[in-house]
Amino acid sequence: MTMNDIVQQAARASDMVSAVRTTMLAPTAKKLSPTYNQTEVATLCGMDRGPFAYRMKNDEHGTLPQGVTKPERRGKEFTLAEARTWVREVRSDKLRPEGAEAVVISIANFKGGVGKSTTAMALAQGLSLLGHRILLIDADPQGSLTTLTGLLPDLDVEDKDTFLLLVSGEEESIRYAIRPTYWDGIDLVAAAPLLFSIEFTLPSRQVREEGFEFWNVLNLGIDDVREDYDVIIIDTAPALSYGTVNALMASNGIIMPLPPNALDFASGAQFWSLFADLSESLSGSGRLDKTYDFISVLLSRVETDAASAMVRKWIISTYGDKVLPVEIPKTVVTSTSSAEFATVYDISRYDGSARTYKRAREAYDSLVAYVERLVHAVWLRDSTNRKSRFN
């Protein structure tokens, strides 16, 4: 096989992915957010249907969406934006307090196929359904998270849509690369294969520019937008690359999806070993003093066989209280959703078993609720620290 054969193969693969996406997302090749009935919006608000209907009928200020009656469906139908307006009103005391900044979370693991991108996207969607405003940053040149937002990295993403200009020094704030997505409340900094050039640009700048800190570029680049969002979620490459290092150093917390099987367990151990080596190297040089508000291990793609149960015990024994009290099961729902460039939150009506869908949805809802509590804890600590400084 010659280099020309490889080029042709790459073109065929790209064309096929584009064709598959067009088929999955027909007729417009653009993802659409789901709609919600009155009961679903009430549930998102943490209310029963009766009290919700009463509040909707007696909206004193006339500012809350009333939904649209659809002949083919019973009751009112609400868009995602309308549902989030309700949630932000009802859950206003659970939203980011004044003066607080976005909590930054990296989704990281050295091994592919563990559910990093799906976790990042589902977490963003779930948090947005609780009323929060989310920025997704795709730091993986493969662009899987970007694909989940309905964009094709090879065709829809240019260097100005990624944090590449931040890395090169052409921009100081990441704001230039932020774009809205099909999902209300979620913005995106996209990724594409051209992001691989980071691995050459950053070490080159480290050599050429006195005082340059290659690990701190993304951290400084998001400073300008920290007050615009409640949570910033970064999806990383399956390697301790320069991009991954930047993501980890910009984060308040790390979540590592880890399926309970032997290969993934070994890969996870390698991740922490290499990350520890890097941290010690930077700390030893006096250039880094980094602490995290939380580091969590998420059991993902969990199966019920004996082998998985055994590895699950290894994981709990190894990581102790870092293991989240939430597990994401491997189900037909999540497998099918991935094939359609989607997550469980994209599904308005599931054609398969209602019980299977409920199991998958409840697992992600539990993850989202737990992460929201972690985020609240960070906001509370920061608020307390600010008050003590001014008193």
User: What residue ranges do the domains of the chain occupy?
Assistant: 36-90, 95-390
Among 218-232, 292-306, 359-373, whose mean pLDDT is lowest? 292-306
- For residue 97, count other CB atoms closer than 10 A to its CB: 12
Vertex 324: Cα angle to 319 and 325 (nearest 5)? 120
Residue 69 above 90 pLDDT?
no
Residue 338 above 60 pLDDT?
no
Please tell me the distance from the alpha carbon of residue 156 to that of residue 176, in angstroms, as a whole number: 16
Please tell me the distance from the alpha carbon of residue 364 to that of residue 326, in angstroms, as a whole number: 8
Contacts of 18 (CB under 8 A, 6+ apart): 152, 154, 155
The larger pLDDT score, comparing residue 271 to residue 250, is at: 250
Kindly state the tokens that stand for 77. Answer: 């139908």
Dihedral, CA of residue 101, residue 105, residue 106 and residue 108, to nearest 10: 170
Please tell me the distance from the alpha carbon of residue 257 to that of residue 268, in angstroms, as a whole number: 9
pLDDT mean over 326-347: 77
Please tell me the distance from the alpha carbon of residue 216 to that of residue 249, in angstroms, as a whole number: 7
Please report the pLDDT score of residue 26 as a whole number.
Answer: 46
Mean pLDDT of the chain: 86
pLDDT band (50, 70, 90) for residue 138: very high
Kindly state the tokens that stand for 284. Answer: 């030893």
CATH topology of domain 95-390: Rossmann fold (3.40.50)
Q: How many CA atoms lie within 13 A of 166 on its CB side?
A: 28
Please report the pLDDT score of residue 112 as a whole number.
Answer: 81
Contact 130, 375 (CB under 8 A): no
Please report the pLDDT score of residue 336 as a whole number.
Answer: 60
Please report the pLDDT score of residue 133 as a whole number.
Answer: 98
Nearest alpha-carbon partner for 159 in 183, 194, 135: 194
pLDDT mean over 300-324: 89
Please tell me the distance from the alpha carbon of residue 360 to that of residue 143, in angstroms, as a whole number: 24
Distances (CA, A) of 55 to 58, 115, 245, 255: 5, 39, 48, 38
Dihedral, CA of residue 218, residue 223, residue 225 and residue 231, to nearest 10: 70
Please report the pLDDT score of residue 334 as a whole number.
Answer: 62
Quote the percentage of the chain above a pLDDT of 70.
Answer: 86
Q: Choose from 274-278, 347-351, 377-381 the range with maximum mean pLDDT.
A: 377-381
Residue 144 above 60 pLDDT?
yes
Please tell me the distance from the alpha carbon of residue 237 to that of residue 147, in angstroms, as a whole number: 14
pLDDT tens digits along 154-175? 888 999 999 999 999 999 999 9
Kindly state the tokens that stand for 228. Answer: 């615009």
Q: Choose from 63-67, 134-138, 244-248, 317-321 the range with maximum mean pLDDT.
A: 134-138
Residue 28 above 70 pLDDT?
no
Please tell me the distance from the alpha carbon of residue 80 to that of residue 183, in angstroms, as a whole number: 8
Contacts of 159 (CB under 8 A, 6+ apart): 165, 194
Please report the pLDDT score of residue 331 as a whole number.
Answer: 79
pLDDT tens digits along 178-189? 999 999 999 999
Per-residue H/E/C for the chain: CCHHHHHHHHHHHHHHHHHHHHHHCCCCCCCCCCCEEHHHHHHHCCCCHHHHHHHHHCCCCCCCCCCEECCCCCCEEECHHHHHHHHHHHCHHHCCCCCCCCEEEEECCCCCCCCHHHHHHHHHHHHHCCCCCEEEEECCCCCHHHHHCCCCHHHHCCHHHCCHHHHHCCCCCHHHHCEECCCCCEEEECCCHHHHHHHHHHHHHHHHCCCCCHHHHHHHHCHHHCCCCCEEEEECCCCCCHHHHHHHHCCCEEEEEECCCHHHHHHHHHHHHHHHHHHHHHHHCCCCCCCCCEEEEEEEEECCCHHHHHHHHHHHHHHHHHEEEEEEECCHHHHHHHHCCCCHHHCCCCCCCHHHHHHHHHHHHHHHHHHHHHHHHHHHHHHHHHHHHHC
